[in-house]
Amino acid sequence: MKLGILVNEGPYTHQASDTAYLFAKAAIEKGHKIHRVFFYHDGVYNSSRLTEPPQDDRHIVNRWQKLAKDHRIDLVVCVAAALRRGIKEENLQEGFRISGLGQLIESGIQADRMITFGD
């Protein structure tokens, strides 16, 4: 099954980002394909290369980056939501890209299922 994922919450303020990541990882292990992960609202904070959690904490941004690299997943950050929160190309983690809501619509059309994490 081809899946699309929408993440609406930031990485350290809500469980949604962790849950989305773990869901994506488990789905891949079960043989499903993740078509795209779209980060919207506060979810755009999952793409910031300025994120520096303590050494003994998980690094969610790096987790997304590695998962995408290992499994060729398209990580898309909503341009409007990103700019509202000060995220631009220069502070975007490698492996993420900024684009518009059209990418979310396209993912919904191309995927067999679209799963939303967060409000």
The residues assigned a catalytic role are 78
- Alpha-carbon span 8 to 86, nearest angstrom: 16
Q: What residue type is 64 in one-letter code?
A: W
User: What DSSP state is assigned to residue 65?
Assistant: H
Residue 47's CB is within 10 A of a number of other CB atoms, namely 28
How far is the CA of 17 from the CAs of 67, 101, 109, in angstroms? 13, 19, 23
What is the SS3 assignment for 4? strand
**Residue 28 φ/ψ region, left for φ over 0, alpha for ψ in the -120 to 50 degree band, beta for the rest:** alpha
